[in-house]
Copies of this chain bind each other. A is one copy, B any other.
Amino acid sequence: MTKFGKDPRPLTAILSEAAQQALAGDQDGEVDAIYIGAMNPEEFTGDSNLASQIADALGLTGVPAMRIETASSAGAAALMAAFQAVASGYYRRVLVVAGEKMTHLSTSATTRILAEVIDKRERACGATMPALAAMITEKYRQKFRLSESRLADMLCGVALKNHRNGARNPLAQFQRAITRRDYFASKLVATPLRLYDCAPITDGAAAVILTSESSEVRLTGVGQGTGPVSLQDRDVFTSFTATQIAARRAYQMAETTPQGIDFAEIHDAFTPFEIITSEDLGFFPAGKGGDAALAGTTAPDGALPINPSGGLKARGHPVGASGLAQVVDVFRRLTGQTPSKREFRRGLTQSTGGLGTNNIVTIVERADARKVANPWTPAPLPTVVAQKSHSVQRETVEGVIETFTIVHITPDGFLAPLALALIRARDGTLLMAQGEDDTQLKIGQEVYVRGIDGLYLFTVKSQLQKVQEAFSRLWRRRTASDKSKKNRSGGAR
């Protein structure tokens, strides 16, 4: 891994450094192929034809090279494809390298590129990744009946833990623990998420060599799943089906269960995603991931350390690199290269592509990893819904707020604060809408929605009713006064 953070070098140089490190730490030093993970080098750095570029940059011109992309889980996907290539017997040794360069662009440009993974209709409303993550968080809060302050404590707990862990990771972007005060003083990005709930913008790369030869650490399980791109197409908001599908396959393949995992690196691009994912992976019951974080269960000395590396939150999040950096961190902890008071034998990584739309779970273990005695019965998977159509209507429809957020850091062209809500219309379909007002928003609130130029605008019903009522009153009064005038004038006649 390179030192994550701001890196002035070109993307190819950053990827090459990680690859050279992996090759240097290897006895053989030769590889049959290169599998490269990167999310969007085309737009971040203007790099096309990346696979050939990397073969050249490593002095490995001639060697087969391909690039794999699954949005922000690209690093894990490259490892998975390389695993399949080695497992098939087609290659014996594959170099996997993944990275991204992002910090040279403005925050608004980076946010725009990252937001391209979102459904186009939702982007048109002004939705960003933090905004959608915030809406999922608000739904989680409501579903599990958490007070605003209880939820904030949980998110703060995850942020503090991961920054504390990052402070011990020399390759992390942030190497400073933060305080509760720092957390609550950080600005709101999209309610209820603050700046310290969001992973930073980062440059960096990671690399591993996968070989069919016997090795002290083995990749024993890997699984992938997808989920609806659009929030409007989802039935389930408080868990990621893509992770549940991926985890089942990975556990099954590794012949283990959540109880067999000693520690995990989880995609905490947003602190609530660490909580939700820890539930999706079967570590904690639904709605209990936050309690576990607050109770210290997921701290480095807890029963199940999560993100001992600092996670995406503190290690940094060069999008294409993160899924592979997690595996490098697990490898180092398993082999003792990262010092630890405890001995870890089996680690799990979970990487999220987009808004939980393309997730990958990997299990990596030492030969002496303990077997799990008891079989595991995973909770039944929710039915993944087929896409519904939401034709933009011009008439006003009535509905109820399914979840919402108030976006304080908006994309270019949208004024802050921007109220966004997912509305469930009377016919059961969901639609993303901008609020005409950002007050009085609450899940379950009844609203009117108007379709205008392909966009939806919503108004909280009670407000409209108030206006209508005020109008009616005014009207009645005027009519009454007209009448009385008439009467009076009539009387005068």
Where the two chains meet, the residues of A that have a C-beta atom closer than 8 Å to any C-beta of B are 33, 39-40, 42-43, 46-53, 55-57, 59-71, 77, 80-81, 83-85, 87-90, 113, 116-118, 223-230, 233, 241-242, 245-246, 353-354, 357-358, 384-387
Contacts and interface: CB of A to CB of B under 8 A. Distances in A.
B61 A384 contact: yes
Contacts of A46: 116
Nearest to A67: B69
29 contacts: A40-B42, A42-B42, A46-B116, A48-B71, A48-B113, A48-B117, A49-B71, A49-B229, A49-B353, A49-B358, A51-B70, A51-B71, A52-B358, A56-B230, A57-B387, A61-B228, A61-B384, A62-B241, A62-B242, A65-B226, A66-B68, A66-B70, A66-B77, A68-B69, A69-B69, A81-B85, A83-B88, A84-B84, A88-B89
Given A61-B385, A62-B245, A90-B87, A229 B52 contact: yes
A88 B222 CA distance: 13
Contacts of A42: 40, 42-43, 116
B225 A62 contact: yes
Contacts of A62: 225-227, 241-242, 245, 384
A70 B67 contact: yes
Given A42-B43, A386-B59, A70 B65 contact: yes
B66 A52 contact: no
Contact of A226 (B61, B227, B357): B61
Contacts of A87: 88-90
Contacts of A52: 70-71, 117, 226-227, 229, 353-354, 357-358
A387 to B, nearest CB: 5
Contacts of A81: 66, 68, 81, 84-85
Contacts of A53: 229
Q: Chain B CB within 10 Å — which of A69, A85, A88 has the most?
A: A69
A226 B358 contact: no
Given A42-B116, A90-B87, A117-B49, A227 B387 contact: no
5 tightest Cβ-Cβ pairs between the two chains A and B: A64-B224, A48-B116, A87-B88, A88-B88, A52-B357
Given A90-B87, A226-B65, A59 B357 contact: no
A176 B80 CA distance: 45
Nearest to A382: B62
A64 B233 contact: no
Given A62-B384, A65-B226, 7 more contacts: A51-B69, A51-B71, A57-B387, A61-B386, A67-B69, A83-B88, A84-B88
A77 B35 CA distance: 11
Nearest to A33: B224
Contact of A354 (B47, B49, B226, B241): B49
A131 B81 CA distance: 35
A491 to B, nearest CB: 71
Contacts of A69: 50-51, 66-69
Contacts of A59: 386-387
Contacts of A67: 68-70
Contacts of A116: 42, 46-49
A84 B68 CA distance: 14
Contacts of A226: 51-52, 55-56, 60-65
Contacts of A65: 70, 224, 226, 358
Nearest to A91: B84
Nearest to A242: B62
A125 B25 CA distance: 39
A228 B65 CA distance: 12
Contacts of A224: 33, 64-66
Contacts of A63: 225-226
Contacts of A85: 81, 84, 88
Nearest to A40: B42
A233 B84 contact: no
Contact of A56 (B60, B228, B245): B228
